[in-house]
Amino acid sequence: MGNDAKMGIKSRFGHPTMSNTALGTFLGRAKNFRRDSDIARADLYISGTAHKTPQGDLAEYVMSLAEADPDAFGASIVFKGKPDVRVNKDGTPMKNEETGEELLPLARIERLDGADIVDNPAANVGMFGDQFFSDGVKPSAEMAKFLDKFLLNPEAVSKTMDFLKRYSTIKEEEKEVKLANPDGGDQMHGAKEKPKEKAEVIPVGMKGWTIEDVLSAFENGVIDKAGAISKLMEIRGKEAKKGEKKNEEVKKMGEEKKVDDKKMEDERIVKLEKDIADGKAREKKASIESFLKEQKDAGKVLPAFEEKLKALFISLSDTSEISFMESGNKTKLSQVEALKGVITSLIPMVKFGEEGKGGDKVLTEEEKQDKRAEEIRSEGVKLGKEISYADALIQAARELENK
């Protein structure tokens, strides 16, 4: 199984524990696994990194110890497997003849993960010795077996912690009483003894007792009836105060949560409104820029006035309306639409066109029509006739069509 790993099985200086890491303890890899009678042997190939570790030259230390005192340490395997309970022929568990306890199960290895160098290996007498289960490891194995059974009880841990806490409280109170009464005497009431029938006998450590503790102490004669009643009333009072305090804390937490939730909701609403407003502002700006570009190309907006008009459009309200009469009818438009209407109705102030080869401007069909209309009106004036601009445009259009 050890030879299945092509690079060998890793070996560390000691096992990692719950309180220390294995980082910086790598020694090398175990290779060439073989069986020697009832012993499994392998060769440890020391890594060059083991000479320079946070703990010093581990490689030199291990090799020197192996040469000087090989029985002082050994290899302890790290593996994954299943327990194999040892049983008699009749199927009953095998027991130790001297103690009568069940023998620990054997380990059936399924996967070998490591072979660490330790001072007290569980299955070797030394680095080169025979197989055995060392006395130094037995307490750990027995404790592990006890803890496995102990943890099968779900309430075991909590009950043990309660006991240790109460035990610690009793010990602390005993120290306080001894300091307060160095000469001895009654621990709680001083040297004077009260009449037995009226005495409130409260033993050391009762301060941390529960109702069950008080009742048990009364039944066993540790405290008298008066002391038991007094202590029970005290415990009940403390529990009531704890309940009130807890209710106040829960109520306070609930109120704080409501305030936090309301604050978060308000912040989300404000952010959403801002996002919507920003989106509308971007749409309005893009629409205005597109409109002004169209009017500039048409010659109705001079380039010098474009930015000023854009700023004016942006400052106008989209919702506020203005009323005016148009063709005898009352009309309502938003401030933005009204200004757009005014600009759209303007006569082009600039004519954009191409220039000819000689530098003469190449007129568009519309410009040719306007030019011919002006000529027709001038000819009419010479003849003593007044021709309207509309009639001149119609005549110019017919002439251009016939050419």
For residue 28, which amino acid is it? G
pLDDT value of position 349:
67
| Tokens standing for residue 102 | 């069940």
Provide CB contacts within 8 A for 310, sequence distance 6+.
285, 288, 289, 292
pLDDT value of position 197:
45
pLDDT value of position 359:
52
* Cut 0.75: pTM above it: no
pLDDT value of position 131:
39
- Tracing tokens 């006569």 back to the chain, one arrives at 347
| Tokens standing for residue 209 | 């007792």
- Tracing tokens 């307490």 back to the chain, one arrives at 139
Provide CB contacts within 8 A for 132, sequence distance 6+.
123, 124, 125
| Mean pLDDT of successive 10-residue stretches along the chain, which has 403 residues | 84 70 82 88 90 89 88 82 85 88 82 83 48 49 64 72 77 62 47 44 55 76 77 77 77 79 82 81 88 86 84 84 80 85 78 53 76 86 83 84 75
- Alpha carbons 90 and 291: distance in angstroms, whole number: 102
- Alpha carbons 23 and 14: distance in angstroms, whole number: 11
**Widest Cα–Cα separation across the chain:** 150
pLDDT value of position 31:
92
Provide CB contacts within 8 A for 157, sequence distance 6+.
151
- Tracing tokens 């490689």 back to the chain, one arrives at 59
- Alpha carbons 60 and 64: distance in angstroms, whole number: 6
